[in-house]
Structure 1
Amino acid sequence: MLSATLNTTLQTLRHRWPTFVGSFVALSLGVALIAVMGLALASSQDAPPRGPERFAVAPVVVKGQDTLTVPTSLDDRTQKLAQPRPVPDGVVAKLRRLGTVVQDRSFTVRAERGPADLVGHPWSTAAFAPYELDAGRAPRAADEVVVSGDWARPGTRLRTGDGTVRVVGTVAGLGFESAVFYTDARAAQLSPRSLQLVVDADASAVREAVRGSGDDGDGGQVLTGKGAQVLTGKEAQVLTGKGATALTGKGAAVLTRKGAAVLPGNGAQVLTGDARRYADADPDRDSEALTAMNAMFGTAGGVTGFVSVFVVASTFAFAVAQRRREFGLLRTAGATPGQIRRMVATEALVVGVLASAAGCALGSYGAPKLAAWAVHESLAPRWFTIGDYTWPYHLAFWTGLFVALCGAVAASWRAGRTGPTEALREASVDARAMTWGRWLVGSVLLATAAVTLVLALVTSPGDLLQRKTYISRPMLLITAVALLAPVLVRPLARLLAWLPARLPGAGGMLVRENAAAGVRRTAAVAAPVLVTVALAGSLLGATATLGGAKATEIRERTAADFVVTPAGDAGFDAATLKRLRAVPGGTAAAASSSSAVYVLEDGVALIKSDARAVEPGPFAATARLPLTAGKVRDLDDDSIIVNEEWARHTVGERVDVWLGDGTRKSLEVAAVMTTGTGNNGVYVTPRNAPTAPVDRVDVRLAPGADPATVASGLRAAVRASGGEVLTRDAWVRAMSPETNRTTRTGLFMVLGIALLYTGISVANTMVMATSDRVRELAVLRLAGATGPQVLRLVGAEALMVVMVGGLLGALVAALNLVGMWSALGLLSVWTSIEIPWATLGAVLGACAVLAVISAVAPAGLALRRGGMSVAGVRE
């Protein structure tokens, strides 16, 4: 029996090769997509070990406290401090007695025609990388600099935000930064706070000096070359792993082997060996890059996996549905339902195995291409490559085979259960396109999408604004609509063809009736168009709508006429602030600083909230916060303005917080803001952010003041220190949040892959569908239709099917965006729904072109090769 089934299968594959080629192409591409994303995701799990960069040859680096550690009942929680602490003066004094101490400073430099990532340092730190002069000399005056790389040569004059400087030397770039070296004195002026220093002394002596300067502070921290461990409290703790053991107490610590960093009570860290990398500008960039890549490839893998499985299942189901006449003939010849099902399963197994193997091979070729593209687009670090992993191939292969078997067997179940006469009758027209199983699953998924949306709106509307939510929710709705598509295809086709059917000639009527009668064919071709349009509209529309909502929040909160920002990281000094406040025509000049506040919620979660340190009086005159309780003017040094996301957000209630420099303090809630789009932050007074530089000054015009005169005065006030004066509208445009570049590019990557796959699937399915309509086209020719008329009819039908898929996809996208818009309204943010019309038009246009070409080309070949003879008629 098995050999007979296999022989029948091979004969069927030979005689119906167009159908099986179409299934093979769809499945192999789907498996390739899953393999590529699986390989990329697996390769983004680990980063290569990285040593110190800026301080590769430095003897010992001492760094101030830059983390906040809070013990909880579960574990210690750690957050980066918004205002890291410098090395205490007492420690610096003791270190100077041990050897030469070089203060390190890093600050942003903006230069015309220079790299965007320029960073300034004192020249005395260049030797620790090491940088070596390859042209010119070291800087000696305040207006002289040395630059890394070849973008400027000695003698070049550069205009920077802090004045014009002259390049007097160059050093070879080391790849991890674009550096500008100033004299030590000038660097100290541009960046007064030094957070770390290099000590030319014995490491053990430095450790002893730092340890001896400790106090009974709240905690300590030990960082080893392989990572970081946090020690808090006054009780001893033991760190294990790789031979590391450390004990805290009153500032005491036992150091590990491969270099160490010690934070006793004073917060200072001693870095040697590999641990010196923690003094680099961004020591966590590898882990952050891995997190970003995991999110990007995870999202891309999930969406492309869904698209591929969706399209493959639809293609296989359509391929089996095309053969109902064949199944009817077999039933008439005496074949049992079980024999038909075994034959179909064997065919799916043969095609599935071959296509899945081909897809894995194609994936192994495509994965390195994707990795190279990600590195080129700066979405992945330079070290990212595809590793040697096997589980993605297993996942892709078995997923493809499983989907092929499920799609084919499920579609053949109905054909196997029908009688011979009924099967032959159903082969002529799709009278019953919906089975009870399809009704059940589609209805359940649709109900699930509706119920979960309502529950989210009632309980936690903010969850609908999260990326993982607005990416995953469309998939549920797409599947539900696709399953119920046969119910919607007929009325949509009649609606779209209503006007063409009333035009002279029978073309419009034939298009309408063919699309309405061939429900399965129409639904199968419309499926890939549906998924692509729905994803494009939902994902791009969600990010655009959310970005518009955030821009609306910024616009509504800004009551100032001008916003002034500094040129460098040091912020505005007291003299510049005095000049800004003295500009005639301004009634209020509200200076503010960026900081952060940390709160322990539920006793286990250390939450960081962005904070702005503001002067309550002037700020109240230049801002319109969306308050639900309290007043801005009630803010003082003992209070805080929070938002409704905080666990404690009742006016008058006290909350225990840690300020941006790690200082613990109890503050009273002075006012409460709405939740909005999330991360509204908090507001404190400047005394609760003492080291945060002023990075923004909001100015409001006095009644009758001339805006141009005031703007000119503000520019004159910041000319000496450097700064930019923006109008309110310009400020709103500059601050309007854009989608994170990684997220945006990841979405376009997903949509690009989906569109490519959709295009191939549309072409593939159209070829399959058209090859099965040779007799129908021959009958049209016998009825008097010319060849061009038949081809125009076929092209119009293909266009009709694409329009049906586009309408269904637009419906799904609209429902998703309405859900997000409703959530924004419940969060007190009213904005318009942003629909990416241009993208949707491009997607539909591309699908339409491919569908028409893929339908007309095989139809034309069939007619040219004598397709009329297939109907048993000779010309």
Structure 2
Amino acid sequence: MPGTTLRSLRHRWPTFVGSFVALSLGVALIAAMGLALASSRDAPARGPERFAAAPVVVKGQDTLTVPTSPDGRTRTRTHELAQPRPVPDALVAKLRHLGTVVQDRSYAVRAERGPADLVGHPWSTAAFAPYELDAGRAPRAADEVVVSGDWARPGTRLRTGDGTVRVVGTVAGLGFENAMFHTDARAAQLAPRSLQLVVDADPAAVRKTLRGSGSGSGSGSGSDRGGSGVQVLTGDARRHADADPDRDSEALTALNAMFGTAGGVSGFVSVFVVASTFAFAVAQRRREFGLLRTAGASPGQIRRMVASEALVVGVLASATGCVLGSYGAPKLAAWAVQEGLAPRWFTIGDHTWPYHAAFWTGLLVALCGALAASWRGGRTGPTEALREASVDTRPMTWGRWPTGSVLLAAAAVTLVLALVTAPGELLHRKTYVSRPMLLIAAVALLAPVLVRPLARLVAWLPARLPGAGGMLVRENAAAGVRRTAAVAAPVLVTVALAGSLLGATATLGGARTTEMRERTSADFVVTPTGDAGDASGAGDAAARHAGFDEVTLKRLRAAVPDGTDVSASSSGAVYVLEDGVALIKSGARAVEPGPFAATSRLPLAAGKVSDLDDDSIIVNEEWARHTVGERVDVWLGDGTRKSLRIAAVMTTGTGDNGAYVTPRNASTAPVDRVDVRLSAGADRAAVASGLREAVRASGGKVFTKESWVRATSPETNRTTRMGLFMVLGIALLYTGISLANTMVMATSDRIRELSVLRLAGATGWQVLRLVAGEALMVVVVGGLLGALVAGLNLVGMWGALGLLSVWTPVVIPWPTLGGILCACAVLAVVASVAPAGLALRGGALSRPGIRK
């Protein structure tokens, strides 16, 4: 038997080369994704940046800590506050007795020709980074600034959202921010609230003062948090005073999720295609198995021979795939860094488990795919095997029916359960990325049942055209069901994934845009510094622009005619402890009840917007308590605990229907949006001009309702979007290679069949046209099956949106699917015609008696 195995490998090398290529590429994908995933698990400790040279940093309360006791033991739940608290004035006064106190302020700056992420600070804080002047001098007047980097030189005049300033000095950039420094007095005007300060004193004395003021306790170096949340930061703990100190960890968390999703999908695609390729490779050899059975080989000997061949090919291909993965993983990491998806320091680490996972997965898939397909060949008798060698009379094996049926039933049952119990779960990224795999596997297993009627349907019109070509294409595809299903499998998986993933994100984005459009009845929306604002009220106020001041709000109200409704609102958050264990943050917008009721159309399930007051809140149906009149304990954006009555309840929607409170319950949140609804007969052009003039000094922007909807239409998170494109790109590339590989295998195995056509009188061009027609038809069949899977998945999402009271059309990415089908068609035609053409040129298909 070992000798037979080696001779089979030598004589049927095209088949085994195809299996080798498919498996090695699949293992390479799994190894590369595993290495990237393993390397994205831990971020190195980040040191302090803006305050690397500061002796002590005192930071106000910026987190909410709530004790819980779910199992009798006291535990705490924490969340970052939407409106952090400043250091109390009484404590600041005591700290001034210890040494110099410098109040820190940070605020967004928009400057002509300046970086988009420009941030402002008081000049007195520059020494704590430390920044050092490399040209010019420090600012002394309100219109003088110092900038970091080389984008402006001393003497340059810049127009900013707060007026024209003159650059009087520059400092070298330190890499973590683009800064503009004002005088301390001007910085205090631009950002009145100071949330942290630097104290030039002994850390022990600062901590003693903190404890003595009753603000907290703690000892030692690092970070001490007082009872009121005031922190004393020294050493490496000063990094917590930097903007977004956990950005590397957060970036790696997002990267880990992206690589995990991509790895799961890539692993599914590779395992799916490899198993299909190996099964097809074994199914091609039924005539050979029949001859061996006639010669006396037992079923066990045939299975051992196939297992030996799969073992040899599997070991060599898996080892090759691991080597390819080790070369591909660093390129994947470099791409992630280049696209801004990973920190600049991100590289592939020294990990071994991804190689083991990839190698043994590849080998297991090769053995399972080959053995499953050889089981039938071993069980059939010699005569029956020879009779079935040319035509697929029973393409469905004993394992396909129950497995495919169970997977199809599981897909249907889980969809129905999700729609009945938690339709919102179907809108989550993990759900709409993973659900298609179950349905793809089910349809692929049941494909032999669907291939024959689909092939006859696709070839119905060509079969009625003059000539026998269309009829031969139809009959060949219908007779070779296994071959057709194997070739269609890569097309099926790619079209289904592309249609499901891109269609889901587009449909969900369209639903959110529909919600935004229906939630407002305003004619104009005004936002500060040209920012479109927070569409849902779920944003982080700490990361927003300063907002409109009282002077600008008065100008806006004075710029509109009598009878016009003007609703000023701000974004923030509220926190609620659900079931006594989960501290949930919900985006909240602070609104004036009367004007807001006139400029909005909230999707209410119960209650009225006009019932909102300082003692109440509007929630949505996702809240554990959502009955009108019921009271709910919440923590406001600054951490203040309050019991509020539920005034109204909104439908769940896509998850962006946050809570609503009054301005008194979000006193520190700046106004970042003004909605204007015109009275009947008002001059729209005149009002728009007046609004623009009112915000000209502060740099605000006036949107019409439709332009605001377009500007704020929710887009898929960039990391998620790039992850989806990476998944689809890998799937398309792998599909292309596997499709070409399978077509070469299939065409090489049909040389004798094509020779019969030549003997029957077909010319060389007729044979090639027949081969090309069959390739196109198989791609169309795979595309139809993939479109069926994608359509079923999108219908499930559409049903979930309907149950959540959001009616929006399903978006199918027809251009993308068409492009994928065209690419697959070109690859399939080339990969099938090329070996047939080579056989023609080599004389393998020449008619007897005709000399060249």
What's the TM-score, normalizing by structure 2?
Answer: 0.96
Aligned to 2:535: none
Any residues of structure 2 matched to 1:853-872 within 5 Å, and which?
853-868=830-845
Amino acid across the alignment from 1:17:
W
CA distance in 1, matches of 2:525, 2:555: 15
CA distance in 2, matches of 1:861, 1:553: 59
Amino acid across the alignment from 1:575:
V
Verify: 1:35 aligned to 2:31, yes or no.
yes
CA distance in 2, matches of 1:348, 1:76: 55
Aligned to 1:686: 663
1:51 to 34, 47, 50: 47
1:395 to 354, 357, 362: 357
Aligned to 1:382: 344
Any residues of structure 2 matched to 1:667-678 within 5 Å, and which?
667-678=644-655
Verify: 1:302 aligned to 2:264, yes or no.
yes
Aligned to 1:580: 556
Given that residues 223 and 234 in structure 2 are in contact (C-alpha distance below 8 angstroms), is that contact kept between their aligned partners in structure 1?
A: yes
Q: 1:151: how far off?
A: 2.0
Gaps of 5+ in 2: 530-543
Verify: 1:123 aligned to 2:117, yes or no.
no
Aligned to 2:59: 63
1:260 to 197, 215, 222: 222
CA distance in 1, matches of 2:398, 2:276: 17
Aligned to 1:285: 247
Any residues of structure 2 matched to 1:603-618 within 5 Å, and which?
603-618=580-595
CA distance in 1, matches of 2:685, 2:141: 37
SS in 1 for 2:845: helix
SS in 1 for 2:564: strand
Given that residues 778 and 863 in structure 1 are in contact (C-alpha distance below 8 angstroms), is that contact kept between their aligned partners in structure 2?
A: no
Q: 1:165: how far off?
A: 2.1
Amino acid across the alignment from 1:54:
R
Q: Cα deviation per residue 1:795-835 (whole Å; 9 max; x = unaligned)?
A: 11111111100000000000000000000000000001011
Q: Cα deviation per residue 1:505-533 (whole Å; 9 max; x = unaligned)?
A: 11111111111111111100100000000
CA distance in 2, matches of 1:254, 1:139: 39
Aligned to 2:800: 823
Q: 1:867: how far off?
A: 1.1
CA distance in 1, matches of 2:95, 2:219: 20
SS in 1 for 2:47: coil
Given that residues 614 and 665 in structure 2 are in contact (C-alpha distance below 8 angstroms), is that contact kept between their aligned partners in structure 1?
A: yes
Verify: 1:563 aligned to 2:533, yes or no.
no
1:734 to 696, 705, 711: 711
CA distance in 1, matches of 2:791, 2:654: 20
Aligned to 1:222: none
SS in 1 for 2:52: coil
CA distance in 1, matches of 2:761, 2:172: 79
SS in 1 for 2:244: coil
Q: 1:167: how far off?
A: 2.0
CA distance in 2, matches of 1:495, 1:111: 63
Q: 1:171: how far off?
A: 1.4
Amino acid across the alignment from 2:409:
A
Verify: 1:197 aligned to 2:159, yes or no.
no
Any residues of structure 2 matched to 1:484-503 within 5 Å, and which?
484-503=446-465
Verify: 1:6 aligned to 2:18, yes or no.
no
Aligned to 1:553: 515
Verify: 1:801 aligned to 2:763, yes or no.
no
Verify: 1:702 aligned to 2:679, yes or no.
yes
RMSD: 1.2
CA distance in 1, matches of 2:234, 2:516: 45
Amino acid across the alignment from 1:391:
W
Given that residues 213 and 266 in structure 1 are in contact (C-alpha distance below 8 angstroms), is that contact kept between their aligned partners in structure 2?
A: no
CA distance in 1, matches of 2:848, 2:345: 65
Verify: 1:332 aligned to 2:308, yes or no.
no
Aligned to 2:534: none
Given that residues 105 and 195 in structure 1 are in contact (C-alpha distance below 8 angstroms), is that contact kept between their aligned partners in structure 2?
A: yes
CA distance in 2, matches of 1:852, 1:113: 52
Aligned to 1:223: none
Aligned to 1:244: none
Q: 1:874: how far off?
A: 6.9
Aligned to 1:724: 701
SS in 2 for 1:694: coil
CA distance in 1, matches of 2:58, 2:294: 88
Given that residues 581 and 588 in structure 1 are in contact (C-alpha distance below 8 angstroms), is that contact kept between their aligned partners in structure 2?
A: no
CA distance in 1, matches of 2:310, 2:158: 68
1:448 to 403, 410, 424: 410
CA distance in 2, matches of 1:266, 1:778: 88
Amino acid across the alignment from 1:82:
A
Verify: 1:25 aligned to 2:21, yes or no.
yes
Verify: 1:420 aligned to 2:382, yes or no.
yes
Aligned to 2:533: none
Q: 1:284: how far off?
A: 1.2
Q: Cα deviation per residue 1:251-277 (whole Å; 9 max; x = unaligned)?
A: 33233xxx3222223321100000000
Amino acid across the alignment from 2:101:
V
Aligned to 2:537: none
Gaps of 5+ in 1: 216-250
Given that residues 109 and 161 in structure 2 are in contact (C-alpha distance below 8 angstroms), is that contact kept between their aligned partners in structure 1?
A: yes
Query: In percent, how many aligned pairs have the same letter?
Result: 84
CA distance in 1, matches of 2:362, 2:156: 61
Q: 1:873: how far off?
A: 7.8
Given that residues 576 and 585 in structure 2 are in contact (C-alpha distance below 8 angstroms), is that contact kept between their aligned partners in structure 1?
A: yes
Aligned to 2:181: 181
Verify: 1:538 aligned to 2:476, yes or no.
no
Verify: 1:647 aligned to 2:624, yes or no.
yes
Amino acid across the alignment from 2:342:
A
CA distance in 1, matches of 2:137, 2:721: 44
Aligned to 2:140: 140
Given that residues 461 and 826 in structure 1 are in contact (C-alpha distance below 8 angstroms), is that contact kept between their aligned partners in structure 2?
A: yes
Given that residues 135 and 171 in structure 2 are in contact (C-alpha distance below 8 angstroms), is that contact kept between their aligned partners in structure 1?
A: yes
Any residues of structure 2 matched to 1:190-269 within 5 Å, and which?
190-215=190-215, 251-255=216-220, 259-269=221-231
CA distance in 2, matches of 1:873, 1:833: 61
Amino acid across the alignment from 1:721:
S
Aligned to 2:94: 94
Amino acid across the alignment from 1:783:
A
Q: 1:417: how far off?
A: 0.4
Q: Cα deviation per residue 1:62-103 (whole Å; 9 max; x = unaligned)?
A: 000000001111421000000000011011111111111111
Q: 1:720: how far off?
A: 2.2
Q: Cα deviation per residue 1:687-743 (whole Å; 9 max; x = unaligned)?
A: 000100010110111110010100111111112222111111111111110000000
Amino acid across the alignment from 1:349:
L
Aligned to 2:369: 407
- Classify 1:493/1:90 alpha carbon distance in 2 versus 1 (closer, same or farther; 3 Å): same
SS in 2 for 1:166: strand
SS in 2 for 1:198: strand
Given that residues 108 and 546 in structure 2 are in contact (C-alpha distance below 8 angstroms), is that contact kept between their aligned partners in structure 1?
A: no
CA distance in 1, matches of 2:849, 2:499: 48
CA distance in 1, matches of 2:113, 2:738: 47
Q: Which moved more, 1:97-106 or 1:167-176?
A: 167-176
Q: 1:545: how far off?
A: 0.3
SS in 1 for 2:460: coil
CA distance in 1, matches of 2:848, 2:739: 31
SS in 1 for 2:602: coil
CA distance in 2, matches of 1:788, 1:158: 71
Q: Cα deviation per residue 1:406-426 (whole Å; 9 max; x = unaligned)?
A: 000000000000011111111
CA distance in 1, matches of 2:606, 2:849: 84
Q: 1:868: how far off?
A: 3.1
Q: Cα deviation per residue 1:724-773 (whole Å; 9 max; x = unaligned)?
A: 11111111111110000000000000000000000000000000000001
CA distance in 2, matches of 1:111, 1:489: 62
SS in 2 for 1:860: helix
Verify: 1:841 aligned to 2:842, yes or no.
no
Any residues of structure 2 matched to 1:770-809 within 5 Å, and which?
770-809=747-786
Amino acid across the alignment from 2:307:
A
Verify: 1:749 aligned to 2:719, yes or no.
no
